[in-house]
Amino acid sequence: MAFINFRSLVLFENENYMVINKPSNLATLDDRGESENVLLLARKYCLDAQVCHRLDKETSGALLISKNAESYRNAAMQFEARKVQKIYHAIVASPRKFDQLVVDLPIKQTSTGTVKIDKLDGKKALSVFTTLKLFKHYALIKCEIYTGRMHQIRIHLASQNASIASDVMYKGKIPMLSELKRKFKSSDEVEKPMIQRVALHAYSLKFLDLDGKEISIETPYPKDFEVFLKVLEKYD
């Protein structure tokens, strides 16, 4: 991975918190032997930094980081009480029309690093999906989550026959421009996917500061996500 200027990732900062726009393919923590991760970069910027939640390595977007022990406890209490509003945007490889569809399916983590729906032994997981843009073969989905289970959005969308584009772990289709554009000719010997990672972006985050003031942050799409959407708008 190329050099990352942590300061350039910061969208919001005060004496207690930072919200960054995490790039894709950057791990949140170092628990898998990653040479570079958000926590490591954050602590070079602020010695007492602590990440308050996780995003999958491939997922981009809003990530909350505390700058002191008191603010970390404050955030942890809000996450535990499910008072932090988290909204994601996903591009699914299916033209699905959802109007605040509630998916209340329990999730169980497997030994292979994936998750599955398990109504007997799974942990409660609640998501709400709304279609923002509908294409012929794809859809842009707003995902609101009220629990923070591993791969929750990915498995819940897959359960609705709406797997996220490029999410091969949960049967997501690899999106190729040649399937949409007539007389397509690739400049490369091998055609590349329109997006080369799970098309999921943590779009916004809303939480309370230590003084009770509400903080609401929206994160712009990264280039790969934005370009994918523009291609769909033009050809799909």
**Which CATH number covers residue 79?**
3.30.2350.10
User: Is 69 part of a structural domain of the chain?
Assistant: yes
Look at the block and give the residue holding tokens 């080369």. Answer: 196
Residue 147 lies in a domain: yes
Token pair listed for 149: 């289970």
Residue 211 lies in a domain: yes
For position 186, what pLDDT does the model report? 66
**Integer Cα distance of 169 and 183 in angstroms:** 31
pTM recorded for the entire structure: 0.94
- With respect to residue 1, please indicate whether it lies within any of the assigned structural domains: no
Domain, as residue range, for 52: 6-235
Give every residue of the chain whose pLDDT is below 50, as ranges. none
Whether residue 78 is contained in a domain is answered as: yes
pLDDT at 31: 62
Q: Tell me, what's the pLDDT at 1?
A: 53
For residue 157, what pLDDT is reported?
A: 98
Question: Is residue 44 situated within a structural domain?
Answer: yes
Please count the structural domains in the chain.
Answer: 1
Q: What is the pLDDT of residue 184?
A: 74
